[in-house]
């Protein structure tokens, strides 16, 4: 692997980088979003199995409509097994997962906090392992995913993992598994931090005199529009912020509060991310 994080080109998804058999274990919101992404880049429904004892009606309908096997009785080991269960469910699910993993299986895990070592201790047959941390916007194809591969992952397997993960958005490959907890804390939880901003922006608008429903709609549109501008622009965030801020103006007055040191947004966001990173580490084992 390279000495720094990298993104692989997303211009195409050749069939050679698509698995001939794939099992998704855990089809909740994130697992379901990833599944739809895989279908969008050409993975055949007939090559996919979904294992989830409490599958939603929506997921059941998707499986039926796309020819995806749902909870097959005795599935053979697959070329790729993706773990989308909750971290706390790993211990109870591990014996069944172990039966799905063969000597050439690529195991892809999106379990927060569970290290490659944790996975191998429960699933002894797992050799080639990719840990990935996507986030909620993957559900609309705008996700941000950090990923790290064990040394046993071949170039072809990494390309396959990249294709599967990139079907839901941006992928950054990390030089070390140890950085996954930082990704979990920053981009994994990041959407919640943005939603919190929209929530409090609306409340502040109401406190300033706007009707609550008007404040909610304006806050939603403001955050969504700013995010889209950031996505489309090549300018760094600080330049975009400066472009909105006239010296001595109203935005400058607000930013003087938000950017106060110590205790401003910079410190709060840093403390929040570090707290999430610590919690991710606590989930290991």
Which residue ranges form the domains of the chain, and what is each CATH number?
Answer: 15-180 (3.40.50.720), 190-282 (1.10.3730.10)
Beta bridge partners, 22, equal 48, 80
Spatial contact of 78 and 19, defined as CB atoms under 8 Å apart: yes
The count of residues in the chain is 285
Strand pairing class (22-25; 128-133): unpaired
Considering only CA atoms, give the Rg of the chain: 21
Q: How far apart are CA 185 and CA 222, in angstroms?
A: 24
What pLDDT shows up at residue 8? Answer: 39
Q: How far apart are CA 209 and CA 214, in angstroms?
A: 10
3-class DSSP string for 242-276: HHHCCCCCHHHHHHHHHCCCCCCHHHHHHHHHHHH
What pLDDT shows up at residue 283? Answer: 83
Return the closest-CA partner of residue 230 out of 190, 185, 203, 189.
190
Mean pLDDT of the chain: 92
What pLDDT shows up at residue 6? Answer: 40
**Owner of token pair 């069939």:** 15
Edge-to-edge, what's the strand order for the sheet holding 169-173? 69-70, 48-51, 22-25, 80-83, 106-109, 128-133, 143-149, 169-173
What pLDDT shows up at residue 16? Answer: 62
What pLDDT shows up at residue 243? Answer: 96
In the chain, which residues have pLDDT < 70?
A: 1-16
Q: How far apart are CA 9 and CA 249, in angstroms?
A: 42
What pLDDT shows up at residue 5? Answer: 39
What pLDDT shows up at residue 17? Answer: 87
């Amino acid at each position: 692997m390279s000495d720094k994080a990298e993104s692989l080109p997303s211009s195409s998804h050749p069939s050679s980088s698509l698995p001939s058999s794939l099992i998704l274990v855990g089809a909740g919101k994130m697992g379901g979003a990833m599944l739809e992404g895989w279908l969008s880049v050409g993975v055949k429904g007939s090559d996919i199995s979904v294992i989830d004892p409490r599958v939603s009606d929506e997921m059941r309908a998707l499986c039926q409509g796309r020819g995806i096997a749902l909870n097959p009785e005795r599935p053979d080991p697959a070329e790729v097994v993706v773990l989308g269960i909750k971290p706390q469910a790993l211990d109870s699910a591990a014996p069944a997962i172990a039966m799905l993993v063969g000597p050439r299986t690529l195991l892809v895990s999106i379990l927060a906090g569970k290290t490659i070592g944790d996975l191998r201790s429960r699933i002894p047959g797992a050799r080639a392992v990719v840990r990935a941390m996507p986030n909620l916007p993957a559900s609309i194809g705008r996700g941000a995913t950090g990923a790290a591969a064990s040394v046993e992952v071949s170039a072809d397997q990494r390309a396959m993992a990249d294709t599967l993960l990139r079907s839901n958005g941006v992928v950054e490959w990390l030089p070390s598994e140890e950085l996954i907890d930082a990704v979990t804390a920053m981009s994994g939880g990041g959407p919640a931090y943005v939603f919190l901003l929209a929530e409090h922006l609306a409340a502040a608008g109401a406190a300033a005199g706007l009707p609550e429903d008007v404040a909610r709609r304006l806050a939603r549109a403001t955050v969504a529009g700013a995010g889209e501008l950031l996505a489309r622009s090549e300018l760094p965030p600080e330049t975009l912020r400066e472009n909105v801020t006239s010296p001595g103006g109203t935005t400058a007055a607000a930013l003087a509060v938000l950017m106060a040191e110590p205790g401003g947004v910079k410190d709060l966001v840093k403390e929040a991310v570090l707290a999430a990173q610590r919690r991710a580490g606590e989930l290991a084992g």
